[in-house]
Structure 1
Amino acid sequence: MKTFLLLLRTALFVVLFSFGLLCLLVSLSSYKEVDETKTWQKLNATVATVSISEEMRSKGMTYCPLVNVTFELNGQQYTYPLEISQRPCRTSLESVERSVATLREGKVIEILVDPAKPGRVKPGTYSLGGGFYLGVFLGTLAFIGAVAILVFPAKKSVKLTQGESISHSTLSKKEVQQKVRELLAAGTAKSEVFSQLSGRGVKDSQLAYFIASYADPIRCDEHDRKVNILITIMLAQALIALILGLDIGARMGPTAKWVMGVSMTLIPLFLVWGFYNHRVGAYNAYILLVLPQFPRSLAGFTSSPATTAIALAISIAILVFVWYVRGKIFPDFVFVTPRKIKGKYLFSS
């Protein structure tokens, strides 16, 4: 089990770090392309020709816009292709048609020209697009996840003996959380922990959450096989998400293929990390993510009832299993909050 978890932790770190590096390198490349145009010359040009070429590539029929513009630089006239965007070619003809809809023959437009190489021509409005900011965001998020895997391993707390009490000074949120772990690890009853720490610096609801979210090592060992099954299911979902992401991204561009593919696997992989570290937040997040999807799943029932019914049944089965495993390791939760009856928090023994 320890070897499996170590390998899983290493794999998650490598995937997140590699994805973050890829996103940031792509964003850096985009930034450099835009930054170098600051030294280019801004001119007026006339659209000479507009057409769309077709080419069969590995991802299917690809459409590329071909726009030639005529301009004058240093007293000499040139006609060169206009680089509409960093990756103008698309598998969608409608998308390419929209990109050239405003460029008609004879129209005067503003362009940027590299004085050293007049053949390099870009639109006057050439700037960083949404892809740059998406790449920076996803890359940063992936790096944060990779660092979290390294920095937040399960820590051994200094145990208190069951009869040992704590002082009654006000504590910070982190100190309260640490005291909860220490007292519970020492075998103190949950209700007693709540009584000792109530009113010590955090709200009772927050204190109850700390107590209810404590992963008892004995329970974790007892239900270790169930957690491994859950991790395997999430890894399978991550693989399916990767394949779907690659398919969707391939229609947008070669780089988008990998960005979409890896980004769609982030949520399943973060859930894997949470289940592996026995974080109740991962269970609650899965429940909150899946429940709103059920009404959408029913939308395709009319057109393909059999497929929809099977997919819905699988989703419900996985949700029930996640709920079941959470109940075994964290028995004090009702939906996504600690159990509270008649204004009083109740904990299992």
Structure 2
Amino acid sequence: MDRQAIKRRVVEMLEGGHSRSETFKALSGGKVKDRVLAGWIGGRRDPVLRKRHAVKVNILVALMGIWGLLGGIAGLVQINDGGIVMAVAMVLIVGVIPLLFAWGFYQGIAVVYTIYITFTISQIPRELAGFSEEPVSTLLGVAFILAMVFYAAWVKSLLFPDLAMIGPKKIKGQFVFTN
């Protein structure tokens, strides 16, 4: 089987009621590496977990929506400093990207959580650059960003218990799945 056929088979087996462990055992050792297969299985959206944690996901989506709205407003303020082109570019970059993350969180796409967490953590040193001029606001901003990152990581761990921070969970050299 090629990659797409294996991916379809994973979906069929999981929707057919097979456990994640059974699915992994049945399909491992093929053309797809076990790590990739475990990632596909672990990243599969579970409707029961999504329903159980819907309020937490909706809070995260709302916070990202507010973040995108504030980014859009901040972009519009750039009209005075950089002109219309600069303002439109800022609105598209700073306003739309959080909304795309919110959409991914709402859809339950595991890789969106991972990208958000790694991207946001990589931006923290840039955020600390203005510490000497405005220490209080800088610390408040960093605290808010870290709170958002930890909250997103917590929600990811609730929705996708078979995934680690990056990639599938592995204990003692074996991929592990909750059933």
* TM-score, normalised with respect to structure 2: 0.92
Please give the residue correspondences for 1:194-273 in structure 2 after superposition, counting only pairs within 5 Å. 194-273=24-103
The answer to whether the aligner puts 1:335 opposite 2:151 as a matched pair is no
Q: 1:283 aligns with which of 113, 131, 138?
A: 113
The answer to whether the aligner puts 1:345 opposite 2:175 as a matched pair is yes
Q: 1:324 aligns with which of 150, 154, 159?
A: 154
Distance 1:200 1:259 in 2: 46
Distance 2:134 2:96 in 1: 29
**Cα shift at 1:345:** 0.9
Kept in 2: contact 1:183–1:193 (CA 8 A): yes
Kept in 1: contact 2:72–2:96 (CA 8 A): no
Q: 2:132 aligns with which of 302, 315, 326?
A: 302
Distance 2:99 2:33 in 1: 32
Whose strand fraction is larger, Structure 1's or Structure 2's?
1
Give the unaligned 5+ runs of structure 1.
Answer: 1-170
Which residue type is aligned with residue 27 of structure 2? L
Check 1:253–1:299 CA distance in 2 against 1; reply closer, same or farther (3 A cut): closer
Aligned residue in 1 for 2:141: 311
Query: 4+ residue runs of structure 1 moved beyond 6 angstroms?
Result: none
Which residue type is aligned with residue 71 of structure 2? A
Which residue type is aligned with residue 306 of structure 1? V
In structure 2, the residue corresponding to 1:347 is in which secondary structure?
A: coil
Distance 1:293 1:215 in 2: 28
In structure 2, the residue corresponding to 1:253 is in which secondary structure?
A: helix
Which residue type is aligned with residue 291 of structure 1? I
- Spell out, residue by residue over 1:146-174, the C-alpha distance to the aligned partner (whole angstroms, 9 max, x if none): xxxxxxxxxxxxxxxxxxxxxxxxx2222
Whose helix fraction is larger, Structure 1's or Structure 2's?
2
Which residue type is aligned with residue 94 of structure 2? M
Which residue type is aligned with residue 46 of structure 2? D
**Cα shift at 1:204:** 0.9
**Cα shift at 1:258:** 2.1
Distance 1:194 1:245 in 2: 47
Distance 1:268 1:192 in 2: 37
Distance 1:275 1:287 in 2: 12
- Spell out, residue by residue over 1:7-31, the C-alpha distance to the aligned partner (whole angstroms, 9 max, x if none): xxxxxxxxxxxxxxxxxxxxxxxxx
Kept in 2: contact 1:212–1:331 (CA 8 A): yes
Please give the residue correspondences for 1:1-349 in structure 2 after superposition, counting only pairs within 5 Å. 171-349=1-179
Distance 2:79 2:15 in 1: 47
Distance 1:203 1:274 in 2: 26
Check 1:296–1:259 CA distance in 2 against 1; reply closer, same or farther (3 A cut): closer
Count of residues paired in the alignment: 179
Kept in 2: contact 1:231–1:272 (CA 8 A): yes
Distance 1:234 1:344 in 2: 35
Ranked by relative contact order (alpha carbons within 8 Å, sequence separation 6 or more), the top structure is 2
* TM-score, normalised with respect to structure 1: 0.49
Aligned residue in 2 for 1:43: none
